[in-house]
Amino acid sequence: MNKSSEQQLLDDIKILFPDFKCTVQDLRTPTEEFVTNFYSYWLQEFEVDITNVSQIQFSQMTVIGSYQDAYSGAIPRINLLMSIKAFDVVQDFGMLDIISPTPKRTQGIIKAFIDFYQWSDYRMCALMDKKKELNERKEKLRKMMKEREDLKANMNTIIKTIAQIQDVKKQLEDEALTLQKRVSELNSEKQIAKSKTDDSTEKLKEKEIALQKLNREELQISNKVKELSNLVVDSPTTVISDLESLRKKHEEMKELSETKRDMVETRMQMQSKLHKEYEDQQLRAEQLSELVKLIDQQRELLKVVQITD
């Protein structure tokens, strides 16, 4: 490299790694210490644990066994080499680049490391955007999974609710069927009751007509009784008894009239008077008998009315 290239490389180191101490002389005559420090600093930028790199690894202890002291100086260099080769920046990077660096190759390796660092920084920014997008997608996916689980839970609840609704629906259908049967039975009972009501109404009308007829007959009888009441004596028995007495007297008078035709006119008049009284009493007795018959008929009619009620 010419001086301008060396200065450009030095400027890049100071810009990218401001805490790392480097001079043009270090680039022109690199030492193992310088390259080891630079490579270690560069690895730290990629979050490599340099302290761990400088120590013997557990897997290496099984190989070197009791020769740890003999390999104590070589192990840090080997680990540093393996850490650098893991990035595969310089494919032919080897142990000589650490323990015996040359100016031209060292400057080329440093420039390659700087280019990789800048590229990785650019890629890191792009990856950060991708990572952010990925994280957003992960968060979105997490929310979608959460919503999916919630939907599953809601779906299970809805399925259970639908099953319960189906059970309730079946119960309601059974109750509706029972009610329909009951309505049908009630309609039949209603028809029977209506028929009985119609019969009862018809019978009631007939009874009302019969009652009206009886009331009219009763009124006629009452009027007849009123007409005959003036002819009624204190007791029908007395009238009949008087009638019998008069009949006997009439017979006696008749016999007396037949045997004693020659009785005086006064006795004839008395006989005539008694005969007239007998006829009057007989007429009154006949009227009274008719009245008694009417009273008996009225009683029979009243009994019929009471039985009908």
Third-level CATH fold of 5-136: Actin-binding Protein, T-fimbrin; domain 1 (1.10.418)
Residues 6+ apart with CB under 8 A from 29: 103
Determine the distance from the C-alpha atom of residue 226 to the mean position of all C-alpha atoms in its chain, rounded to a whole number.
82
Tokens of 46: 């990629």
* Helix, strand or coil, per DSSP, at residue 273: helix
pLDDT at 230 over 80: no
Q: Is the pTM of this model over 0.75?
A: no
pLDDT, mean over the chain: 78
Q: In this predicted structure, what is the pLDDT of residue 38?
A: 93
* pLDDT at residue 156 tops 60: yes
- 38-82 pLDDT, tens digit each: 999 999 888 888 887 776 665 555 555 555 555 566 778 888 888
Look at residue 201 in the predicted model and tell me its pLDDT: 77
Helices 236-259 and 265-308, interaxial angle, to 10°? 150
Centre a 10 Å sphere on the Cβ of residue 98 and count the other Cβ atoms it contains.
Answer: 18
176-193 mean pLDDT = 81
Query: Of the ranges 98-102, 143-147, 160-164, 248-252, which one carries the lowest mean pLDDT score?
Result: 248-252
Which residues fall within 8 angstroms of residue 13, CB to CB, at 6 or more apart? 20, 22, 110, 114
Which residue has tokens 């006989």?
A: 271
Return the domain boundaries, the chain.
5-136
Site of tokens 């009239």: 257
Which residue from 299, 162, 286 is spatially nearest to 228, judged by alpha carbons?
A: 286
**Collapsed DSSP state (helix, strand, coil) of residue 262:** coil
CA dihedral 277, 279, 285, 291 (to 10 degrees): -120
Residue 196 is predicted with a pLDDT of 76
